[in-house]
Amino acid sequence: MSPFALFLSTLLILSSSCCYAIGSQNNRTVLALASRIGINYGKLGNNLPSPYQSINLIKTLQAGHVKLYDADPETLKLLSKTNLYVTIMVPNNQIISIGSDQAAADNWVATNVLPFYPQTRIRFVLVGNEILSYNTDQDKQIWANLVPAMRKVVNSLRARGIHNIKVGTPLAMDALRSSFPPSSGTFREDIAVPVMLPLLKFLNGTNSFFFLDVYPYFPWSTDPVNNHLDFALFESNSTYTDPQTGLVYTNLLDQMLDSVIFAMTKLGYPNIPLAISETGWPNSGDIHEIGANVLNAATYNRNLIKKMTANPPLGTPARRGSPIPTFLFSLFNENQKPGSGTERHWGILNPDGTPIYDIDFSGTRSVSSFGTLPKPSNNVPFKGNVWCVAVDGADEAELGQALNFACGRSNATCAALAPGGECYAPVTVTWHASYAFSSYWAQFRNQSSQCYFNGLARETTTNPGNERCKFPSVTL
């Protein structure tokens, strides 16, 4: 998942007449897939239920579709005993080989589709995951092979008589150079012609979907003063009118979706249907991560489901009445995802299967009928000092390795831990690691370091030091 910033733009835009009705046959397909909300099932945790238990939980939630980040054979076999639609994924690291060799695509389909289809109701194969968010030379080779790989997967499916599995690729909002106002939506210059044009031609020619990972949380939390929380949570009574098109917006998600529609239109493809491959709101996060709490997460996801399951479909201001297949992110909090605290807190279920908050995937339950949730305290930025310390119960051997890492980058980081130093005592791995974590984080936070250390660290607003030993802190 990549942060998305709102940009003002003075670019020329096409008028609102750019957006036309989707073809009737494809529209029926979209409507059938959009009528049931999907869930993303990630497995980056060391405390998650088995695939068997997880699939039963998905059925209990009454989700209609499950999206995997692989093509795990155990999970696909278990899903054959359900009525769930299924999405599987080609890993980023296989795109080059598949894009350059039809035999590799045939082998991938033979291994990951044919043993399970049609008993497992596979409906989408997604090639890669947010590959345009990475831009090393190796990544750019993947860019060049993206559409060829998608084409070869389709060729392989069709050669085997399979025509009802759509092929796409999920992209993040950072594929856009400009997104605000929505009418200014424009793809980045480095990808517009070499990647997006052939991608859109492929999607249009195969009646597939533009899959988008779209998170209103990120633009709101980047600028919570100018972006109102209620507008991001579908709770606002205020509106925004696009100055170029006159389209009226009541929520941030519609603005983001329409910016992609306008970007596609500028490249000559106004009719490709959207699918939301990921969206959601974090239920917790680091101390500085404003608005990441259970109430906001529940409010966003409940209102999102109401919007996306409305009958007839609501669409967006640029595409009134168009259904949008949607997958919530995610099933579980995944405790091994790297990055800031929000990365590990997008789930609707705890690892033991209990709900973090109640949610109704059918969209029929009134939002006001859910029970009261705790009032959050982090909807405004935190001001004060924050330290980074070892988590309770951490394995001492792992702490020792993390301690060596933290102290190894700079001699200054752990100078106070030397024998006779002001923080040498008490001589325990936990004490030394806590000091090292805080010192490292304070020293290198401006270089994107996180208080994480492979899950061994946590943030705290309680000063862990004493009169003799002053722990370095981060001031927010």
Question: Would you please indicate which residues are annotated as catalytic (active-site) residues?
Answer: 130, 278
Angstrom distances, CA of residue 213 to CA of 132, 174, 218: 12, 10, 12
Neighbours of 439 (CB within 10 A): 25
Gap between the Cα atoms of 246 and 266, Å rounded: 18
Terminus-to-terminus CA distance in the chain, angstroms? 24
Rg (CA), the chain: 24
Gap between the Cα atoms of 77 and 88, Å rounded: 13
Which among 114, 138, 115, 113 is positioned nearest to 127, based on CA atoms?
Answer: 113
Contact 332, 42 (CB under 8 A): yes
Contact 144, 193 (CB under 8 A): no
Gap between the Cα atoms of 176 and 344, Å rounded: 26
Which position has the token pair 């670019």? 11
Helix axes 102-112, 137-159, angle to 10 degrees: 70
Burial 93-116 (b: 16+ CB within 10 A, else e): ebbbebbeebebbbebbeebbeeb
Own/partner contacts of 26-29, CB < 8 Å, gap of 24 or more, are: 26/207, 26/273, 27/273, 27/322, 27/323, 29/207
Gap between the Cα atoms of 98 and 100, Å rounded: 5
State the DSSP string of 157-224: HHHTT--S-EEE-EEEGGGEEE-SSGGG-EE-HHHIIIIIHHHHHHHHHTT--EEEE--THHHHHHST
